[in-house]
Structure 1
Amino acid sequence: MTKPAKAHRNALYAAIALSWTADRRATLLTFVGFGLRPALPVLIAYLVKVMVDAAVVGDTDLLVRAALGIGTAAALSAGSVPYAVELSTRMIESTAVLVDRKLMTLTGSLPTVQDLDDPEVLDRLEVLRQERVRLSEGADAVALVLGAAVRAGVTAVVLAVVDPFLLLTPLLAVPAVVAASRMQARRTAALDTAAADARLARHLYEVGSAPRWSSETRLFGLGPAIRRRYHEAAERADRHVVGALGRALLPVTAAGVLFAAGYIGALLLVTRQFAAGGATLGEVVLTLNLVTLISIQVGQAVQFLAFLHQTVDASRRLLSLESYVENSVARTGGDRSAPAVLRYGISLAGVGLRYPGSGRWALRDVSLHLPAGSVVAVVGVNGAGKSSLIKLLTGLYEPTEGTITVDGESLTGFRPGAWQARTSGCFQDFVRPEFTVATAVGVGDLATADDPDAVRAAVRHGAADGIVAALPDGLATPLGSSHANGTELSGGQWQRLALARARMRPSPCLLVLDEPTSAIDPLAEDVTLRRYLAAARLTAARANGVTVVASHRLATARAADLVIVIAAGAVVQFGSHQRLMADSDGPYRELYERQSGAYS
């Protein structure tokens, strides 16, 4: 078996396995129902032939038995439809839930977030999002094709009994099926080409329709411009697919004309035999019915095979993503455990970072040592590389060059997720989970998420106790519009909860705060951060951990043991606040004095 054929077979099995895993009973009955029911119309056509011939010769008993057979077959065919559709629908819905969960699991299993910044990976995910409905309908598509094959086989047998030459009629349908298959292959390639435009269109749709952006879009009158750009991106994406299908239209049309010629030929053949006395009236009626059924079957077979082709293609994409995730985990993961307590600290040697698809270095030639138990402030203008450094320290990104070690052990030598389990943090793009307050905070440490005392302590240490006390049901208050009685929070309130969530882990080896007070009222910002850092020192003492805070408020750097000054992706100064302030020509002192004057 060739590699493409083997890949096709594996993808087919994987598509069926999804439905089998989701609902075995519904999948099995769908195969039985969709596989056998299509043979009933052929049986009915044959029994009509028996009735006609019985009527011609006056065989009343045979006429009655044939009529009863037709009634039974018709009742089975019609009566089984609602049940079959209900089973198929239940199977598809169960599989859709499984597929969505699988996609979330695969995305979440990537050991670093840099894969999710890679345009190629994003294009893969975008096409899978578009085609994921095909994955949920995999067994349904296979059952439909199986039914079409069974019906074609039974039809061929009956036609051969009338006249072997009539077998040419279903054979003439093969070119139409092949042409339709090639058309679907073109569609698959077009989806890959259109993925970037489709991803842009989806983003613009979210911007133009999501409530979180509605204030700005209305204030600036952006609606028409966003809709226009959405239309342009969607039209570009659609143009690729329509163009590919258009180029395949001629072969499909030619194949259809060939089958139509065979259809007419079969009708002429059987009517000529009847006129010459070589066929009974029942055989003429049977042939007319079956040839007409074949015409319908060809259209359905083309449709079902196109459906199956799309399913197999989506399944192949899913298998490819699974392989990519496995390789990514194998590539990045070691076999060592992360330390529970730091002895020396975290060191960077010649570290550089370049984001996927970018020719510019976000960081370059960074060499630092962050001592165990220290609080380190990272300062610099927007875009200097502060967030990039934090991504590297947390292991969410691998350095493009250089090494990062923890107590002398390379960060890449730890088991996947081991170092993240020993870290905690609050990021600029913090999550706003619409759960209860207790759950939204508690998920910062799943081991103690259900411990009310641990949650209350994290809320207190995160300076969010005042916010929680003001909510209608305290920690039990549901948050967000996902709940009928959910409470909406401001950006600053959400950030306070994010800070509390970062305090759930009792003894992290690394605590990172990336602009942790950017959404908090300026009057409360400095007080909040100082209070937070003071509590963080106590927590870090248990693991002798390192706390790294990147903040635009340079006044907080005075509370840090060390300050890293970053400019244009390079570390330009490193030392204590006092030592950096003593350098009258240094960038840190200039930034600090300028900001102090502005706040004064």
Structure 2
Amino acid sequence: MTPVSTRRRGPLRAAVGLSLEADRRATCITFVAFGLRPTVLVLVLYLVKVMVDAAVAHDTGTLNAAVAGIALASAMAVGSVTYSIEQSVRMIEATASAVDRRLMTLIGRLPGVEHLDDPEVRDQIEVLRQERVHLSEGGDAASLVLGAAVRAAFTGVILAVVQPVLLLLPLLAVPPLLATKRAQRRRDQAVGQAAGAARLARHLLAVGTSPAAAKELRLSGLGPHLRARQAEAATTADRTVTRTVWRNLVTTSAASALFALGYCAALLFVLHRFAQGRVSLGDVILILGLVTSVSTQLSQSVQFFGFLQQTLAASRRLLRLEEYADRAAQGAGEAVPAERLVDGIRLDGVGFRYPGSDARALEGVDLVLPAGSVVAVVGANGAGKSTLIKLLAGLYRPTSGRITVDGVDLATVHSDLWHLRTSACFQDFSRLEFDVRHSVGAGSPAHAEDDAHVTRALEQGGAAELVAGLPAGLATRLGTSFDDGVDLSGGEWQRVALARARMRTAPCLLVLDEPTAAIDPLAEDVLLTSYVRAARQTVAQSNGITLFASHRLSTARLADLIVVVDRGRIAQLGVHDHLMADRNGIYRDLYERQSRAYA
């Protein structure tokens, strides 16, 4: 993914914008409270100076006024602490939810799925997941830096009035701040370099803690090996970042030592001036308090500034990914696909290579899929069946050649609109842990509340009997995310996915990619046969194409056209009887092998 040099929004504006979008009221209160509260200490120090000088001069009125001012300022500062912190926590929590929604929306905007196969894009997403906390706390970091800046300005004004030469002291804070900024930039680069190893470690952790993988891990004894690999990947990622952190420590420590020397010199200067009688006792107390305060401010400023730099780094990544998504969306095409096919779908010289791979998954594919037909795609594992199907569904774009729908290049059609004309059930289907009504209804959200529509889809997906046996029917919650959820077997989940694919009653393309792989062989052939027959009847409205790939070749008899894929190319085309007549053909060989195996 190529970074861009210009951005419509700055990273600070984008980070604070997330907090304002999440909870404007809490964010504004946090900025006011954290921005002004640090000045109270400076005000109190000045009032102490007034109080001491008044006490020395026996000025009772001024003394009492200063004491009252100190009490009032302190009471206001202490009294606002709890409320301002509560608002800050509220802002951070709301921003965390907003960040999650932004990331989901951003990834969802990427057309198709090919971008998610790009390792560089996945690394950017992985780093954003890791640094989600910095995006969530962007408003908090900015408010803390604002407070430090306001306090520094107040301190500078008072120092300029009392002892202008001491204004040189804050200048010594510049090297530590610059060193912190440079250190954060190096750390950000290191995090990017470690993203691949961190992503692997997270994947291995997910596998090692997944209930679905527990059986295989225990029976195979793979647990120790998996833990070792996860630890190795995590250590590699951590070492990359830690090495940079230690190098940064040398630079930041040297800059802090420079400020410490200046701090000691300022203290000696003030004491010398007092010994000469050039400043009052109140001035000494004020200056010592302010000089000491500058030291504390520097420590806090470096911490807050580093905190803000981490937020800005995460915000820049988010902006880069958003602009990448914008560019990808702009190339998605604007043409609107017809609601009814006339001629069908045509592939001319189509080739495809997955991102980061040198090998072609498909090459030189020429194919015509007539409107209103049922098409079976068959071939050995790895032949390119799923790749071909995903290209037709608009999930990938060809790297060469073109796909046309009724003569219109699919690359010029808006991918979201083509997806609305498509319905699918894949082998790696999603297990949506909603209630049955919405897990099935997700196939057409507009009809999810229509129980008759959902029930019809369940019947066509072979899941009506399954749902009838659930405790609350359509209202039964599925999965282990709920205390009262019902977990299903792999085959039962697949029936739900098949029903979901039938929610769209008139798709231009119905895709079934190994849709019964998790269903037992005795029921598989019956279910898929009835499913394809039902699809043939219902696609009449759109004159659509039903495209299926199944390892049960007996189902291919139902097809109007059988496409045999071998090593990324179309090896054979025809109907069952025609292909079986070719004694040396791939289809006949596959069919006879499978027949013997099932026999």
Interval containing the TM-score (normalised by the shorter chain): over 0.9
Aligned partners of 1:351 and 1:367 also within 8 Å: yes
User: Corresponding residue for 1:483?
Assistant: 482
Q: Please name the residue that 1:168 is paired with.
A: 168
Counterpart contact for 2:173–2:298, Cα < 8 Å = yes
Name the Cα RMSD after superposition. 1.5
* 1:278 corresponding residue in structure 2: 278
**Conserved 8 A contact 2:4-2:320:** no
1:431 aligns with 2:422: no
Closer, same or farther: CA 150–80 of 1 in aligned 2, 3 Å: same
Aligned letter for 1:397?
Answer: Y
Cα deviation for residue 220 of structure 1 reads 2.1
Q: Does the 8 Å CA contact 1:11/1:319 hold for their aligned counterparts?
A: yes
Residue 586 of structure 1 aligns with which residue?
585
**Aligned residues of 1:379 and 1:564 also touching (Cα < 8 A):** yes
The whole-number CA distance in structure 2 between the counterparts of 1:112 and 1:550 is 20
Indicate if the aligned counterparts of 2:369 and 2:545 stay in contact, CA closer than 8 A. yes
The 8 Å contact of residues 394 and 415 in structure 2, kept in 1 or not, is answered as no
SS at match of 2:27: helix
Task: Give runs of aligned pairs for residues 18-417 of structure 1, distance below 5 A.
Answer: 18-333=18-333, 335-417=334-416
Identity of aligned residues (%): 58
Cα separation, partners in 2 of 1:238 and 1:8, compared to 1, 3 Å: farther
Question: Cα offset for 1:204?
Answer: 1.0
Instruction: Give the partner amino acid of 1:580.
Output: L
Task: Decide whether the 8 Å contact of 1:8 with 1:316 is kept in 2.
Answer: no
Residue matched to 1:542: 541
One-letter amino acid of the counterpart of residue 328, structure 2: S
> Cα offset for 1:168?
1.5
Return 171-180 or 43-52, whichever deviates more.
43-52
- Paired residue total: 597
Say whether the 8 Å CA contact 2:112–2:415 is kept in structure 1: no
In the alignment, is the contact (CA less than 8 A) between 1:172 and 1:262 conserved in 2? Answer: yes
Residues 1:473 and 2:491 aligned together:
no
Counterpart in 2 of 1:442? 441
Q: Which moved more, 1:91-100 or 1:427-436?
A: 91-100
2:45–2:286 Cα contact (<8 Å) kept: yes
Counterpart residue type for residue 481 of structure 1 = T
Distance 1:197 1:8, change over 3 A: farther
Superposition deviation, residue 538 in structure 1: 0.6
Q: Is the 8 A contact 1:7 1:316 kept in 2?
A: no
Separation (CA, whole Å) in 1 of partners of 2:500 and 2:409: 28
Deviant stretches of 4+, over 3 Å: 3-9
Q: TM-score, normalised by structure 2?
A: 0.97
Unaligned runs of 5+ in 2: none
Contact 1:351 1:365 survives alignment (8 Å): yes
Following the alignment from structure 1 to structure 2, what is the Cα–Cα distance between the partners of residues 558 and 61? 105
Write the distance in 1 (CA, Å) between the matches of 2:538 and 2:419.
Answer: 17
Distance apart, 1:481 and its partner CA: 1.3
Q: Give the partner amino acid of 2:373.
A: S
Alignment check: 8 A CA contact 1:352 1:365 kept: yes
Q: 2:459 maps to which residue?
A: 460
CA distance in 2, matches of 1:287, 1:9: 42
> Are the equivalent residues in 2 in contact too, given 1:349–1:367 (CA < 8 A)?
yes
Q: By how many angstroms is 1:140 displaced? A: 1.4
1:74 to partner: Cα distance = 1.2
Moved more, 476-485 or 5-14: 5-14
In 1, the alpha carbon distance for the partners of 2:212 and 2:148 equals 48
Q: Distance in 2 between matches of 1:28 and 1:591?
A: 68
8 Å CA contact 2:274–2:281 kept in 1: the answer is yes
CA-to-aligned-CA distance 1:79-118 (integer Å, 9 cap, x gap):
1111111111111111111111111111111111000001
The residue identity in structure 2 corresponding to 1:462 is: G
Partners of 2:329 and 2:6 in 1: how far apart? 25
Instruction: Report the equivalent of 2:598.
Output: 599
Take 1:110 and 1:424, find their aligned partners in 2: how far apart are those partners?
19
Summarize the Cα distance change of 1:108–1:9 in structure 2 as closer, same or farther, 3 Å threshold: closer
CA offsets 1:160-198 (integer angstroms, 9 cap, x no match) = 222111111111111111111110010111111111111
* Structure 1 letter corresponding to 2:202: R
Q: Give the equivalent residue in structure 2 for 1:509.
A: 508
Amino acid in structure 1 at the alignment position of 2:405: V
Encode CA deviations 1:112-133: one digit per residue, 9 max, x unaligned: 1000001011011111111122
> Is the Cα contact below 8 Å between 2:353 and 2:359 reproduced in 1?
yes
